[in-house]
Amino acid sequence: GQQLNQSPQSMFIQEGEDVSMNCTSSSIFNTWLWYKQDPGEGPVLLIALYKAGELTSNGRLTAQFGTTRKDSFLNISASIPSDVGIYFCAGPSPSYDKVIFGPGTSLSVIP
């Protein structure tokens, strides 16, 4: 079935640094979603991408829908301590009846 891979698996960065993470799939996706999960809480939707090549920003976050439709990137500029958490990419199943989540990228920000 469809699988999503995320890299890196975890990151430790200094406050103020920029962050880049990516998500790749075994098959074509028509929608990419990026969620953030704070410790002990449910995921929160950050950015949704619906078109190949689309570049969308949400504050310091920017995500891009890869032109091959098999990947997506999330960038965080000037990281701050509250950026700590797990970032999941996700996309619809082939039948569009559920969402498939990637394994996540864990981000730690050192003050």
Partner 1 sequence: GAVVSQHPSRVICKSGTSVKIECRSLDFQATTMFWYRQFPKQSLMLMATSNEGSKATYEQGVEKDKFLINHASLTLSTLTVTSAHPEDSSFYICSATSGGGYSNQPQHFGDGTRLSIL
Whichever of 66 and 102 has its CB closer to partner 1, that residue is: 102
Residue 39 Cβ, how far from partner 1 at the closest point, in Å?
10
Whichever of 45 and 110 has its CB closer to partner 1, that residue is: 45
Residues near partner 1 (CB under 8 A) are 31, 33, 35, 40-45, 48, 50, 88, 92-93, 95-99, 101-104, 106
Whichever of 68 and 93 has its CB closer to partner 1, that residue is: 93
99-101 vs 85-92, strand pairing mode: antiparallel
φ and ψ at 81, to 5 degrees?
A: -55, -35
